[in-house]
Amino acid sequence: MKELLEKRNAMLDDLDGILKKANEEKRAFDDAELKKVADLKEEIRKIDESIKLEEEVRGIEKKEIKKPETRSAEEIRAEVITKEERAFVDFVKGLATESRATLSAGAQGVVIPLSIANRIIDTVKNISPILSQATIWDVSGDLVIPSYDYTQHVPAGYYTELATMSAQAANFGSTKLSNTIVASLALISKSLINRTDVDVVPFVVNEVAKAIAYFLEKELLNNANSSVGSGATKLGGLANATNVFNGATTMVIDSAELVKMTLMLPQVVQSNCAWIMHPQTLAYIQSLKSTTGKFLMGNTLSEGGLYTILGKPVYVSDQMPQIGVGANQIYYGDFSGLHVKWTQGLQMQVLSERFADQYAYGIVAALEMDSCIIEPYKIAKYVGK
C-alpha cells in the first residue's frame, strides 16, 4: 500500500503542475494536457479503488474452522447410561414420558437396563465379605480351570555332577465350573419410591443387591454340596475346605488353637490371609483373657483393634455358624482360593402388576453362576467339637 500511495501523490503533483502552468500562461489546456490530465485521473481512480479494496480485505476476519466434536467412548456410554436410568425412574414412578420407550417391555413388567444390572453386580461384590475376596470369573458358558496343589509340588534337591537326574512330574488337575441359576425377588414399596426425596436407582440397586448378596454369602460360606464345582444343583463353598482343624473341647475355642490353625497353611499365602466368622464368635475370641486379666489376642478396649486377630483382618458375617458342635465356626486363609464364575449379564425384571395389591413393585434378579475351591492349600476351617 505504501508504494501505491507514493505513486498517487506523484500523480497529484503532476496535475498540480499542469494546472499551475496553464494559470500562469493565462490559457486553456491544450489537447496534450487534456489527455494527460484524463490519464492521471484514471490512474488515481484505480489506485483509490485498489487502496479501498485492500482495506476492505484486511477488515474481513478469517473464520475459524471448527473440527467436528469428538466424544470418547466413555462419554458416549455415560450418556446412554443416563438415558437408560432416567427411563427406568420414569417407569417406576409411573410417569408417561418419551424416555420410557427405551425400556424393553416384558411379559409382566419391564426389563431393567443393563447399566443398572451391572451396578447391582458391583454392589453385591462390595457388600459381601467372601465375594470381595474370592476370584471372580465374568464368563458365559462352562469354564474349565486348571488346578494344582502347591503342597504336592515337585521337590528340589542336591545334585552330583555327571550323575543321572531322576525326573518327577507335577500333577495338574482341572475343575469345571458350569451354571447354576440363582434368583432373588425383592419387594419395594411404591409409597417409598414415589417420595421426591428418594433417589430411585441407588435404592433399587441396594435393595436387590442386598437380597442377592445375602443368599450368595450364605451359600459360599456354608454349602458343602460339591468340591468339584459341578454346578448341577448348588454352589460349592468354603465348607468344602480340606484343611480342617478340629476343636479339642466342646463349645470352647482356645487361643493356642487359632495359632496352630494359621500354621496349617504354607507361608507363601500368609500375607493375604484373613478370618471369617460370626460376630458372636469374634466377640468370644476377643474376650479371651489370661489368668492375670489381660486380653490374649493382644487387644484392649482402648486400642480399637476389634477386627484383627493375630495381626490378620477379620470379616464378620451373620451367615456364619455360631459356636456349636460340628459347626464350621471359623475360616482362615487367602480366600482368592475360592473361584466364582458368573455370567455378567444379570437378568432383571420389574413386576408391576403381580404385587399391585400390596402397593409394591417386585424386582426379580437372576444370574447363572458356579463356585468351587480351586486352590485348597489357601483355605483352612475350624470345626467345633
Element (H, E) at 144: strand 143-147
Which range among 44-53, 55-64, 219-228, 342-351 has the greatest average pLDDT?
44-53
C-alpha–C-alpha distance, residues 64 and 268, integer Å? 63
How far apart CA 8 and CA 24 sit, in angstroms, is 25
CA distance 258 to 312: 12
Which comes out higher in pLDDT, residue 157 or 136? 136
User: What is residue 126's predicted lDDT score, i.e. its pLDDT?
Assistant: 78
Per-domain boundaries in the chain: 2-56, 106-153+170-383
Residue 168 CB contacts under 8 Å (≥ 6 apart), including other chains? 154, 155
Furthest CA-CA distance within the chain:
145
Q: Quote the DSSP letter at residue 113.
A: P
Which stretch of 104-113, 125-134, 157-166, 281-290 has the lowest confidence by average pLDDT? Answer: 104-113
* pLDDT, tens digit, 9 for 90 and up, residues 185-228: 878 787 777 765 556 777 777 878 888 888 888 889 988 765 44
- H/E stretch holding 187 reads strand 180-189
31-59 vs 2-24: helix axis angle to the nearest 10?
Answer: 150
What confidence tier does 71 reach under pLDDT thresholds 50, 70, 90?
low
Query: Model pTM greater than 0.85?
Result: no
Looking at residue 107, its pLDDT comes to 37
Encode pLDDT of 81-124 as tens digits: 567 666 666 666 655 444 444 444 443 344 566 677 777 777 88
Instruction: Tell which CATH architecture fits domain 106-153+170-383.
Output: 2-Layer Sandwich (3.30)
End-to-end CA distance of the chain: 107
Please state the rounded mean pLDDT for residues 151-173: 66
DSSP 67: P
DSSP conformation class of 356: G
Beta bridge partners of 138: 342
Q: How far apart are CA 339 and CA 257, in angstroms?
A: 28
Most trustworthy range by pLDDT among 109-118, 152-161, 174-183, 198-207: 174-183
